[in-house]
A and B are shown apart, each in its own frame.
Chain A
Amino acid sequence: MTNDTTRDIVLIALFAAIMAVLGVFPPITLPLIGVPITAQSLGVMLAGGILGARRGALSMVLFLVLVAVGLPLLSGGRGGFAVFLGPSGGFLVGWIVAAFVVGLTIERLWPRLGHVNAFIACVFGGIIVLYAIGIPWIAFAAEISIAQAFVGSMPFVPGDLIKAVIASAVIVTVARSYPVITSP
């Protein structure tokens, strides 16, 4: 193993661990909509935005493997193979692609990274791409139409937008004080 791959492995493991720690926070329930917001999807945006596409996606794979083998690391202490077979399993698998796309977008924007385009990257990868995987999965597994699955998922969007605001602020600050992504 070269020095660089060792560092990559350590960083991938670190962000999988950060995901686990974010799962400990109790979900905040939005007053008007009544939908629980968990801190974990913040971790998806952070992994991609701080580690970049490849390492970010791999840290999600690692985290999901640990969940699949039975560790109760998802928010609310959920874990085990069963979580992937429920209706919202697509969102979990989608974390891998979401982290990759957030990372890819941030890498492209790296030389002129600011709060606005970091926010756009988080919304694009962490919300639009994620829902584009999660919604058809619900529709297939629960045998409802895509439109109904879409409507059913919308209450989660306000919370995810708040997380995109937080994630983009953190990504920009970390990029300035302790950059991990190297400019292409």
Chain B
Amino acid sequence: MLTSDYVPGDSVVHRARPLIKVGLLFLVCTWLFVREGWLSLAAAGLVLVAFFAIARIPPKIVVAAIRPALWVLGLVFVAQLFLADWRFAGFVVLRFAVMILAASLLTLTTRTSDLVEAIERALGRILPARSAEAISLALSLCMRFIPRVRDIFEEVKNAQRARGLGTSWRALVTPTIVRALKSADEIARAIVARSPDGPHVR
């Protein structure tokens, strides 16, 4: 569940610093709206194709990246057909496709851990150490909590089934949340008790 779609490689695109990639993505997407036209779209599209080729992303993965958006893009196309003409409809949908693929390229060529690290480092530079530390803690805690919450949910589901209760949403969600909150409070107490400067007295 916690694996991103990273495609291993050693190209320039893979090796570029993660925050540079995020910055470029932001610039390209803004530019596509500011300089709205076929020329800028074609330019962005060509650069994107070149980058996909340099990074050696298999075509199958490119198709898989755009597939979840196809349904919505089809809807937008039909709406634009009625509003404007087929050319403008095509433009709007292609612009979405370019932006979605550009963003996918970032995900496909950057390890999640590298991106998280880059974000933490950048935040550490602009935020006081204490806040940056808090953000790192929140990120790693969340990754730890995902399997824990899933386990709690499974336990609650089995318990309700054993009692012969139906699996209504409310009967499942409420006990899961209360048990998750209790477990979170235990972890919070453990962190405070083990922190180097000891528990603070309120």
Listed in ascending order, the chain A residues whose CB lies under 8 Å from chain B are 1-7, 9-14, 16-18, 20-21, 24, 42, 46, 50, 62-63, 65-66, 69-72, 76, 78-82, 84-88, 141-145, 148, 152, 166, 169-170, 173-174, 177-178, 180
The answer to whether A85 touches B177, judged by C-beta atoms less than 8 angstroms apart, is no
Proximity bits, B162-194, A CB within 8 Å = 1, else 0? 000000011001100110111011011001100
Residue of B nearest to A143 (CB): B92
Q: How far is the CA of A12 from the CA of B150 in the complex (A)?
A: 17
Q: Is B75 an interface residue (CB 8 A)?
A: yes
Q: How far is the CB of A7 from chain B (nearest CB, A)?
A: 4
Docked Cα-Cα span, A64 to B191, in Å, equals 25
Interface residues of B in 92-124 (CB under 8 A from A): 92, 96, 99-104, 106-107, 110, 112, 115-116, 119
Q: Which of B5, B25, B100, B173 contacts A72 (CB 8 A)?
A: B5
The 0/1 profile, CB within 8 Å of A marked 1, for residues 133-158 of chain B is: 11001110110111011100100000
In the complex, what residues of B have CB within 8 A of residue A18's CB?
A: 145, 149, 177, 180
Expressed in whole angstroms, the Cα–Cα distance for A66 and B5 within the complex equals 14
Q: Decide if B134 touches A87 in the complex (CB within 8 Å).
A: no
User: How far is B138's CA from A152's CA once the two chains are assembled, in angstroms?
Assistant: 36
Q: Is there contact, CB below 8 Å, between B83 and A14?
A: no
Complex Cα spacing A153 to B56, Å: 38
Whether the Cβ atoms of B112 and A70 lie closer than 8 Å is: yes
Q: For residue B77, give the distance in angstroms from its CB to the closest CB of chain A.
A: 9
Interface flags for B1-20 (1: CB within 8 Å of A; 0: not) read 11111100000000000000
- In this complex, what residue of A is CB-closest to B92? A143
Contact B25 A81 (CB under 8 A): yes
Rank and list the top 9 A-B pairs by shortest CB-CB distance, nearest first.
Answer: A17-B145, A80-B107, A13-B141, A82-B103, A70-B4, A81-B103, A13-B142, A70-B107, A10-B188
The answer on a CB contact under 8 Å between B106 and A3 is no
A166 touching B173, Cβ below 8 Å: yes
CB–CB A169/B92 < 8 A: no
Q: Name the distance in Å between B92's Cβ and chain A's nearest Cβ.
A: 5
Query: Residues of A contacting B72 with CB < 8 Å?
Result: 86-88
Cβ contacts under 8 Å, A180 to chain B: 181
Interfacial chain B residues near A177, Cβ < 8 Å: 178
* B59 adjacent to chain A (CB < 8 Å): no
For the complex, is B80 an interface residue (Cβ under 8 Å from A)? yes
- B53: Cβ under 8 A from any A Cβ: no
A-B contacts, 30 listed (Cβ < 8 Å): A1-B195, A2-B202, A7-B188, A12-B138, A14-B180, A17-B145, A21-B146, A21-B149, A21-B153, A42-B173, A63-B142, A69-B115, A69-B116, A70-B6, A70-B112, A72-B1, A72-B5, A76-B68, A78-B68, A82-B65, A87-B72, A142-B92, A143-B84, A144-B79, A148-B79, A152-B79, A166-B170, A169-B174, A174-B177, A180-B181
